[in-house]
Homo-oligomer: A and B are copies of this chain.
Amino acid sequence: MSDLLERLRGRGWRLTAQRRVVAEVLNGDHVHYTADEVHALATSRLPEISRATVYNTLGELVSLGEVIEVSTDGRAKRYDPNAHHDHHHLVCSRCGTIRDVHPAGNPLSDLPEQERFGFAVTAVEVTYRGVCPSCASA
């Protein structure tokens, strides 16, 4: 993760305690926190961090391409630090749990030219939905 901080500093990012804490909270695999969850976790390490700073920092990480914004349910957006490995998401329709998945094939090449309507298509997101094992057994 200090990789990330190094990279950010290299891009002229001013390194503050608040930004470091947000980056640390997002460290790890299979992390998909909402902004509020990030704020709660950040607060436990740096009690005086404000909501606005969390939102600002998350927004910057997204525009720097270090974090991906995911909105699977039309409610709070979630932030996925796994930005450097192509993947898609599998979401539980009951509890909202998210898993990273790697489908075969390339959906981008599955969209024929005449179905692009002149758009310059640059990205594709695939969201699988279903019921997770623990919700199914409950």
Q: Which residues of A contact B (CB under 8 A)?
A: 69, 71, 73-74, 77, 90, 92-93, 99, 101-105, 107-108, 110-112, 115-133, 136
Q: Which residues of B contact A92 (CB under 8 A)?
A: 119
Q: Is A90 in contact with B71, judged by CB distance below 8 angstroms?
A: no
Q: Which residues of B contact A129 (CB under 8 A)?
A: 121-125
Contact of A111 among B69, B103, B136 (CB under 8 A): B103
Distance between Cα atoms of A111 and B129 in the complex (Å): 12
Q: Which residues of B contact A118 (CB under 8 A)?
A: 132-133, 136
Q: Is B117 in contact with A110, judged by CB distance below 8 angstroms?
A: no
Q: How many copies does the complex hold?
A: 2
Distance between Cα atoms of A136 and B102 in the complex (Å): 31
Q: Is B111 in contact with A128, judged by CB distance below 8 angstroms?
A: yes
Q: Is B99 in contact with A103, judged by CB distance below 8 angstroms?
A: no
Q: Is B90 in contact with A101, judged by CB distance below 8 angstroms?
A: no
Chain B nearest CB from A34 CB (Å) reads 11
Q: Which residues of B contact A132 (CB under 8 A)?
A: 117-119
Lowest 10 A-B CB distances belong to which pairs?
A: A71-B74, A121-B130, A118-B133, A103-B110, A119-B130, A123-B129, A105-B110, A74-B77, A101-B115, A104-B110
